[in-house]
Structure 1
Amino acid sequence: MGTFIGKTRVRSIAMIGTYVPRKCGLATFAEDLCLAMDDELGNGNQVFVVAMDDIDGGYPYHPKVRFQIRDSSLSDYLRAAEFLNVKQPDIVLVQHEYGIFGGKSGAHILHLVKNLHLPVVTTLHTVLSEPSEQQRAVLTELAAYSEHLVVMNQRGVRMLQDIYGIPGSKISYIPHGIPDFAFVDPNFYKDAFDVEGRKVILSFGLMHPGKGFELVIKALPEVAAVHPEVFYIILGTTHPHVLKHTGDAYRHSLHQLVERLGLENHVRFDNKYVDRDELCQYIMAADIFVTPYKSASQITSGTLSYALGAGKAIISTPYWHAEELLDKGRGRFVPFDDIGAMAREINSLIENEGETNAMRKRAYQFGRKMTWKEVAHSYLELFSLVLERRMCKPKPSYGGVSTTRMVDKLPTPNLDHLQALTDDTGILQHCAYTIPNRDHGYCLDDNARALIVACMYYSLYHSREMVPLIRKYLAFLLHAFNPETRRFRNFMSYDRHWLETVGSEDSHGRALWGLGVTVRSAPSDSIRAIATRIFNEGLSVLDGFSSPRAWALAIVGLCTYLEVYSGDAEVRRLTRTLSERLHRRFRENVSLDWPWCEDILTYDNAKLPHALLIAGRVQGNDEMLAAGLSVLQWLLAQQTAPEGHLSLIGNMGWMNRDGLKAKFDQQPLEAMALTDACVEAFRGTGDFKWIEHAKRCLNWFLGHNDLNMPLYDFTTGGCCDGLTPQGVNANQGAESTVSWLIALLTLLDIV
């Protein structure tokens, strides 16, 4: 049975997000809201969940979870859209947080919502005041696919309008829900936690450095000197993603701080993830609740909402959600990192019982409109209005079967052969069939490309298995750089002796490309730091380079680096200098029948228009972007067979101005460069024809070529070394394998 709110009956709701027993605040929020909406709708089980999984196999969910999505599997999102279209709930409610969805800045969720034929409402748990270009694009596109947005802070309403250009008519404020607490004396619950007779301060939540718990600990000596009964409980486990990436370093630093200050009798770490009932008991046992967060830009805090609803005496730093909830005397503020102010406020609340109780009462009364029952009612009322609007103006279909077919056809990246080619030094250059050939040793070019593969794979799938590979390839680049010449060496023998003092300009540019990708996608700050150092040390020689391919490879690396360090003036100058130099070379060398910057087309050709495209996009240079598109279109035309498949320029003669083109040997490097360039053309224009071109280039690896023979080996994960007049070159070397993987990962990243 549904419920009438206004005119329209809401019968069923599908919620997309994390769900218990996954340990995160979003999962707890989802469970509470689901249960509250079920109660409002009546008869139970009117709300079901599509749950996001961040571990293999998912979690032992309640039957309310009807579908699971592996966060990094794009096909799962599309299958979920099909599932929901069949189930036909009245409303799909998306719980949005960038980090729970796969793809860059959580872009995979867009493929789900745009393929739905159902009305979508999205709750935004984070609204960034300074989003990256990708974060802004994801949120604005998600807003376009959503009928309505919900935020839990009035500031969020203004930010969505001012920063993201979303009309206010499409945004609603609904507060974070809370249990229906009783207003009780904290002493009633203290014996359950062995803190009878103590003045209990509580902070809780998943632990990470942004929580700022050290501010309270540092203030305690001054408090304990006056009030020796004070006792600070820090409740919560370390955030799973923090634990995965940096371990428990933050918690250990807090333990050391407690010991150094001699506070062992005043601080306790309850390192556990508690259920709702136990959490409520902790809150009710507390005299003072503190959220000492270190950044102002937190728009939602479930922990603060709970404490306010329980009528706690609250001290907080002035982050956005706190400023709103604790306004009008419902709490006390201390400046960020102000130890003295924290100590004074704690002492004041302990010593002024009447004033403290009055503040508690104001908080409790304000919280009555935030109970889950009230919040669920607000959501259902909104859903009713959305459905009424939908009847008057049906939602257009954004998705299409072609997108689903495209993703389904893309193989899952297989890194087995990449790992087989890699030893303790780096990736070996060549193979005898599938067996690494040590006679030819290593080269910088292949290790730079392998570094790109490992970083891209990590960025897409957050696989910690990539970290050892990233370290190996990055170590090779570090060793390849010669600080005396400021140049990279390229070739190394198997016994680890460099075979040259200076590598080619092209290999230097390729190293900078690999380092730029590493800076953008590094799995840790330490890896980003060393990649940034090598990158910057390699910049000083770029002005003197004369190879257009070296310019182009470096430009791609420079622009990728700028995605992280956009304010680096020297990198911006070099990007402008090299891209203008490359653009000028094209302008000076072209004719009506030969729009190329050289008199011959050789290897890695598409990297040149790729550089013009990315530099034009990053610098807002429309003329440069147009030149890149024109050159790339011409390059594709020269390498398209009458039947429509890709027919690459071979390296047995290349192609010159007279139009003579070598048909063999065709190299995987060329197909990869074309795929990369086409995807960048899509990024710069938004025109989906470039995705179709990119698919055609990738399909060259899969047998859509002059010989109708696949080069990609599904068994090994390797790629054969090229097409020859006699057939496929069966050796699966490093350049071929990493070219296939870069092309595949590039396309997976955009679709």
Structure 2
Amino acid sequence: MTGSASRALALTLSPASATAPALAPAPSFAHLARLTDDTGLFEHARHATVRREHGYCTDDVARGLVVTCREPDPPSRVLRLAECYLTFLTHAQDGSGAFRNRLGHDRRWTDEPGVGDWWGRALWGLGTAAARSRASWIRDEALVAFTLGAGRRSPAPRAMVFAGLGAAEVLRRQPDNAAAADLLRDAAVAVGAPDDSSDWPWPHQRLTYANAALAEVVIAAGHLRGDDRLLADGLRMLAWLRDIQLVDGVLSVIPAEGWQRHAPRARHDQQPIEVAALADACVTAAVVTGDPSWGTGVRQAVGWFLGDNDGGTTMWDPTTGGGYDGLTPSGANLNQGAESTLALISTLQHARRWS
């Protein structure tokens, strides 16, 4: 994206605007539908062609449920996707609330039920469906599955974070839901307290993946639990993370290899999940604080997909609606898998409503 185009985007996404900027495309579900069959959402693609041999995973299906249930007025094709994803998740869940993650194209599970990241993301998807779906039966069924899963805990902090985001969704609709309240509390505890240092106010010595989600769940927990200290911690974490991911005014997210404190920071490979997580967290901060300046993060996230990034590279395919899998030193990885496409859709959903 050129500098003039970036300025036009920033001007169009003014704080007073409630609609999408002219330069931001509407979220398209065309490629998501291409990646989906009657069982679930395929994980990988070569360019825009589904790679069925890699099968399905709960991780991506759960994210699919999040974006389809976020749609305020979903057309029938999007509602059918949500139904498919909900059915997959309830099939993946066992009687204890754990989830299997990987299903082969032969419809055989290749792992045992567990409480890894996929458990957390499943609860995020189910919580979002229970709170936001326009179909009452989806809300009801999702809440049953969420409640079963919310009785479990994971030793993995990020799994707890993703589950906590689902709990926050449920609490916004049902403030007295005890299972969701307990899970959100425990998710914030799993993140840990931020460091007192001004140059690294983060609970861990390494930034890895979906980093902004950690700050978001702390913000949500502080707000929904009425804990001003916790809310302030989450906002401080997010402000720092947002600022360190700007290079010459352009969003440059933490790469897939992560970043260790006091170590040199790599610039590639940047993953769309980081961009989407930042947009999610900035929207939550804007809602909680009423401060429209958090919309800067949404503008930067949208700009990253449109080419306002380290490579000056467009990170989506307008002809298919798919998101590219990563930003490399030589440009975009042109494969259009589920995770990247879902990150694109999620970010553009926020661009439609927020600045």
TM-score normalised according to structure 1 size = 0.44
Aligned to 1:549: 158
Question: In the alignment, which of 238, 250, 254 is matched to residue 649 of structure 1?
Answer: 254
Q: Deviations over 1:348-401 (max 9, x none)?
A: xxxxxxxxxxxxxxxxxxxxxxxxxxxxxxxxxxxxxxxxxxxxxxxxxxx979
Question: In the alignment, which of 480, 484, 505 is matched to residue 116 of structure 2?
Answer: 505
Aligned to 1:481: 93
How far apart, in 2, do the equivalents of 1:501 and 1:730 lie? 32
Contact 2:124 2:165 in 1 (8 A): yes
Aligned to 1:410: 24
Aligned to 2:211: 605
Report the alpha carbon displacement of residue 492 of structure 1 after superposing the two structures with TM: 1.1
Amino acid at match of 1:531: A
Is 1:664 the counterpart of 2:295 in the alignment? no
Aligned to 1:470: 82
Q: Compare CA radii of gyration and give the structure with the larger one.
A: 1
Which one scores higher on RCO, CA 8 angstroms, separation ≥ 6? 2
Contact 1:625 1:684 in 2 (8 A): no
Aligned to 2:335: 731
Aligned to 2:241: 635
Aligned to 1:427: 41
Aligned to 1:321: none
Q: Deviations over 1:19-51 (max 9, x none)?
A: xxxxxxxxxxxxxxxxxxxxxxxxxxxxxxxxx
Contact 2:158 2:214 in 1 (8 A): yes
Aligned to 2:187: 578
Report the alpha carbon displacement of residue 407 of structure 1 after superposing the two structures with TM: 2.8
How far apart, in 2, do the equivalents of 1:574 and 1:737 lie? 29
Q: Deviations over 1:590-636 (max 9, x none)?
A: 54432222221111111000101111121222111111111111111
Question: In the alignment, which of 536, 556, 563 is matched to residue 147 of structure 2?
Answer: 536
Report the alpha carbon displacement of residue 677 of structure 1 after superposing the two structures with TM: 0.5
Aligned to 1:492: 103
Report the alpha carbon displacement of residue 517 of structure 1 after superposing the two structures with TM: 0.7
Question: In the alignment, which of 164, 178, 182 is matched to residue 569 of structure 1?
Answer: 178
User: How do residues 250-265 of structure 1 correspond to structure 2 at under 5 angstroms?
Assistant: none
Contact 1:679 1:747 in 2 (8 A): no
How far apart, in 1, do the equivalents of 2:39 and 2:157 lie? 30
Is 1:594 the counterpart of 2:200 in the alignment? yes
More strand by share: 1
How far apart, in 2, do the equivalents of 1:404 and 1:551 lie? 32
User: How do residues 383-402 of structure 1 correspond to structure 2 at under 5 angstroms?
Assistant: none
User: How do residues 68-87 of structure 1 correspond to structure 2 at under 5 angstroms?
Assistant: none
Q: Could you list the runs of 5+ residues in structure 2 that have no partner in the other structure?
A: 1-12
Number of aligned residue pairs: give it. Answer: 343
Amino acid at match of 1:647: S
Q: Percent identity?
A: 38
Poorly superposed stretches of 4+, deviation over 6 Å:
399-402
Q: 3-state DSSP class of the match of 2:315?
A: coil
Aligned to 2:305: 701
Taking only aligned residues, the RMSD between alpha carbons, in angstroms, comes to 2.0
Report the alpha carbon displacement of residue 748 of structure 1 after superposing the two structures with TM: 2.2
How far apart, in 1, do the equivalents of 2:19 and 2:33 lie? 30
Question: In the alignment, which of 312, 322, 325 is matched to residue 721 of structure 1?
Answer: 325
Amino acid at match of 1:733: G
Contact 1:429 1:440 in 2 (8 A): yes
Q: 3-state DSSP class of the match of 1:728?
A: strand
Report the alpha carbon displacement of residue 447 of structure 1 after superposing the two structures with TM: 0.3
Q: Closer, same or farther in 2 for the Cα pair 1:501/1:529, shift >3 Å?
A: same
Q: Closer, same or farther in 2 for the Cα pair 1:519/1:406, shift >3 Å?
A: closer
Q: 3-state DSSP class of the match of 2:43?
A: strand
User: How do residues 30-41 of structure 1 correspond to structure 2 at under 5 angstroms?
Assistant: none
Q: 3-state DSSP class of the match of 2:50?
A: strand
Report the alpha carbon displacement of residue 463 of structure 1 after superposing the two structures with TM: 2.1
Q: 3-state DSSP class of the match of 1:425?
A: coil
Report the alpha carbon displacement of residue 540 of structure 1 after superposing the two structures with TM: 1.6
TM-score normalised according to structure 2 size = 0.91
How far apart, in 1, do the equivalents of 2:181 and 2:114 lie? 25
